[in-house]
Amino acid sequence: MDCFNVGTKIMIGAKRFPEIFEGMSRVFVVTDRFMFESGKVSYVTDRLEKMNIEHQIFSDVSADPDIDMVTKGVSAIIQFEPQAVVAFGGGSAIDAAKSIVFFGKKEGNIKQCKFVAIPTTSGTGSEVSRFSVITDREKGIKYPLVNDSLLPDVAILDAELVKSVPPSVTADTGIDVLTHAIEAFVCTEANDFTNAAAEKAIKLVRSYLLRAYQNPDDMEARQGMHNASCLAGIAFSNSGLGLNHGMAHALGGKFHIPHGRANGILLPYVMAYNAGCHDTLTPIAKKYAQIARLLHIDSSSIRQSAFNMVRTTKQYIGKLNLPNTIEAAGVKQSEFEQELDALATAALADSCTATNPRECTKEDIITVYRRAFYGKVI
């Protein structure tokens, strides 16, 4: 990797909201049905109305945004011709907005449209990444889009927006942050800059995720996780991800497991594979040992430190009351075995898998899936 690009201006809190939209008259807001019906989107619309800015809300976003929804959004944005688009919500809303803006600029007269992302969960890092994931529901496949033009121009990080997030979502999204940071740290395109962001994100997760999960009103923990999510997003947007995300996209798309949860289930098993815990230790084990040192769980040997990292991650997932196997997530054995070949094929073809630190075959992926189903981590 010979380039490091943040690209997105990051603002903490809403104090500078007016300057972002100064001189504008039309803003298109992308959000999900819950944010719209609960009135939470007023965080954006009230401020726009105070500035006498006309706005249109597109609230057809659902979990795992699909091709049909993006098509509707593109049609709406082209018709409205806004000067800015605001994505307000979790990863699904921001991913949807990215795709809508991306294809809207190709098809319509919105070339100079500013793109603002306001995350309401601490997990995806989508507000600072050049990634978007769209689902083909007919095929049950998630397609990651990767393009510099998907980067938002501005991200507003406001911890007040996440304090009402329920513990289960805090856990799902928080483990997604950890997966982003770990994969960014060990992937083939990592460098000193991405490592710095990933390491800080890992430290913040260690300090704040359990606190935010156990006490939703702990605003220091909430802001810490919001920052961790953003830092991990900066890291993986520049370095790439790995097999964990490739497998999670396929698994989540087929069995409708929330993305962060799918990542968390797979994380110990993918780390064990990458490090060679089941056969011969690989050079990647040293990277996991470095992370273990960050978390103060390292040992006198690289092998034991890598093992500690794998085992501790699985235990940590348990503390968040997340399933630690695919079976525990509600997938039936017969359905899993029936779809296993297709899952492995999709994971191998996933663009995230390309930067995994250990080369893998379809048979390797099948083995990792089976270990994750039956709980055979080491």
pLDDT surpasses 70 at 375:
yes
Alpha helices, DSSP H only, in the chain? 17-20, 33-37, 42-50, 67-80, 91-107, 167-186, 192-214, 219-239, 243-255, 259-275, 284-294, 302-319, 333-349, 362-374
Residue span(s) of the chain under CATH 3.40.50.1970 come to 9-161
Q: Comparing 3-17, 23-37, 67-81, which segment has the lowest mean pLDDT?
A: 3-17
Find the angle CA(53)-CA(59)-CA(65) to the nearest 5 degrees: 130
Of 267, 265, 248, 266, the residue nearest 256 (C-alpha): 248
Exposure on the CB side of residue 278, measured as CA atoms within 13 A: 14
Is the Cα dihedral 276, 281, 284, 288 positive or negative? positive
CATH assignment of 9-161? 3.40.50.1970
pLDDT surpasses 80 at 41:
yes
pLDDT at position 209 is: 97
Residue 251 identity: L
pLDDT surpasses 90 at 64:
no
pLDDT surpasses 80 at 109:
no
pLDDT surpasses 70 at 1:
no
pLDDT category at 199 given cuts 50, 70, 90 is: very high
CATH assignment of 167-374? 1.20.1090.10
Q: What is the mean pLDDT of residues 20-30?
A: 96
pLDDT surpasses 70 at 27:
yes
pLDDT at position 133 is: 82
Percentage of the chain lying above the pLDDT 90 cut? 83
For 339-351, the pLDDT digits (tens) are 999 999 999 999 9
pLDDT surpasses 70 at 138:
yes
DSSP 230-249: HHHHHHHHHH---HHHHHHH
pLDDT surpasses 80 at 57:
yes
Would you give the distance in Å from CA 207 to the centre of its chain? 19
For 67-93, the pLDDT digits (tens) are 899 999 999 999 999 999 999 999 889
Of 66, 9, 59, the residue nearest 30 (C-alpha): 59
- Which range of 129-138, 141-150, 294-303 scores highest in mean pLDDT? It is 294-303
Strand order in the sheet with 54-61: 9-12, 154-157, 114-119, 84-89, 26-32, 54-61
Element (DSSP H or E) covering residue 28: strand 26-32
Q: Supply the mean pLDDT for the chain.
A: 93
Cα–Cα distance measured from residue 106 to residue 94, given in angstroms and rounded to the nearest whole number: 18
Burial of 312 (0-12, 13-18, 19+ CB in 10 A): middle
